[in-house]
Structure 1
Amino acid sequence: MGARREQTSRESRDLILAAAAELFAEKGYRQTTFADVAERSQISRGSIPWHFGSKEGLLLAVLEHSVEQLNDRMHEDSAGLDEMLDGAMGYLRLPISKLFVTLLVEALEPDSPIHDRYVAIQDALRERIRVWAEQRPLPEGVTADALSVAVMGALIGIHQQWRLSPDKIDLGEAFGALRVLLR
C-alpha cells in the first residue's frame, strides 16, 4: 500500500512540475498562481504546497528539473564541439527551454528567489564550455574563460532571437555559423 501511495505522490509531483513549467514559461513566475497550476495539472491546489512548500519552492523545483533535462542533453562526457552544440540545440528546440528565457528576466531582479540558482546554472554551463575550449588551440589573446563567456552569450542570444521570431531565425543555420566560427 505504501509503494502505491509513493508512486501516486511522485506522479502528482511530476504533473504539478510540468504544469508549473508550462505556466511559468507562458505567463512568468509572478503572474502564475497555485490555482493556475492546479487547474493545468488537474491536481488539487492543496497538494502544491504539500509537495513544494511554497510558490518559491515550486519555482526552484521547476528550475532544477529543467537543469536536469539540459544536462542530459549536453552529454556531460562529450568533449566534441559538434556533440556540445547538438546537445544545446536539441534542448533549445524543446518547449521547456522557453522557461529559461522567461525566467532570465525574473532572475535579473535583485530580490528574485532564483537569482543565485540562475547564476550557478550559467556558471556550470560556462565551465563546461571552458573545459572544452582548454582542449583546443586558441587564437592569441583569447582565453578559455573569455571564449566560454562569448559562446554562452551566443547561445543565449540565438535562443532568445529564435523564441521571439521562429519564422525568421533558422536555428540550425545559426548553430552552423557558430560551429564554423568556433572551429
Structure 2
Amino acid sequence: MATRRIQRTEESRRLLVTAAAELFAEKGYRQTSFIDIADKAGISRGSIPWHFGNKLGLLEAVVDDQLQAVLTGFAPPVGEPAGDSLDQVMRFIRLPVTRLFITLLAEAVEVGSPIRAHYARLHAALRQGVQARIPTEALPPGTTPRALAVLLVGAVIGIHAQWRVAPEAVDLEAVHATIRALLPASLGQT
C-alpha cells in the first residue's frame, strides 16, 4: 500500500514538473499560473504547494530536472569515448529544453527577478559542463577553458534565440561549420 502511494506521489510530481517546463517555455514563468500547470498535468492545483512549497520551488524542480537531462546528454555512454564536444554543443540548440532556458533568460535579467538566482545556477552548470570537455592543451595561448566555456554558452544562447525567432534566416549547419572552422581543430575532440 505504501509503495503504491509513493509511486502515485512520484508520478504526480513528474507530471507537474513536465507540465510546468512546457508552460514556462511557452508562456514564461510569471505568466504561468498554478491553474495552468494543474490543468495541463491533470492534477489538483493543491498538489503544487504540497510537492514544491510554492511556484519558485516548482521552478527549481523544473530547472534541476531539465539541467540534469541536458548534462546527461553531454556525457558519453559508459565505456565510450567522449566524442565531438562541438557537435554536442550544437545539438543543444535543437533541444526543446533550450527554449525553456531562453524564455527564462528574458525574465531572469530583470532586476529583482525571483528566478535570477536559479538561472545563474543553470548558466554555471552549463559552463561547467562545457568547460569540463575542453582540453587545455588545444587552446591558443592566452585563452582559458573557462573563458571559452563562457563564449560557447553565450554563442549557443544567441544562436538559439535567433533560430527560434527566424528559423528561415539561421542555417544551423552553416553556423556549426563556421564555429568549427574558427576553433582549433583539436578543440572539438575530447
TM-score (norm 1): 0.87
SS of the residue corresponding to residue 61 of structure 1 reads helix
Aligned equivalent of 1:85 = 86
Q: Percent identity?
A: 49
Aligned equivalent of 1:150 = 151
Structure 1: distance between partners of 2:132 and 2:71: 15
Q: Which amino acid aligns with 1:50?
A: W
Q: Which amino acid aligns with 1:99?
A: L
Instruction: Evaluate the alpha carbon distance shift between residue 5 and residue 91 of structure 1 in structure 2; reply closer, same or farther with a 3 A threshold.
Output: farther
Q: Which amino acid aligns with 2:21?
A: A
Structure 1: distance between partners of 2:112 and 2:87: 35
Is residue 134–residue 145 contact of structure 2 (8 Å, CA) maintained in 1?
Answer: yes
Structure 2: distance between partners of 1:174 and 1:158: 8
1:1-183 → structure 2 map (5 Å cutoff): 1-75=1-75, 80=83, 82=84, 84-182=85-183, 183=185
TM-score (norm 2): 0.84
Runs of 4+ in 1 over 4 A off after TM superposition: 76-80
Structure 2: distance between partners of 1:4 and 1:132: 41
- Alpha-carbon shift at residue 105 of structure 1 (Å): 1.4
Tell me the matched-pair count.
181
Structure 1: distance between partners of 2:130 and 2:92: 16
Unaligned ranges ≥5, structure 2: 186-190
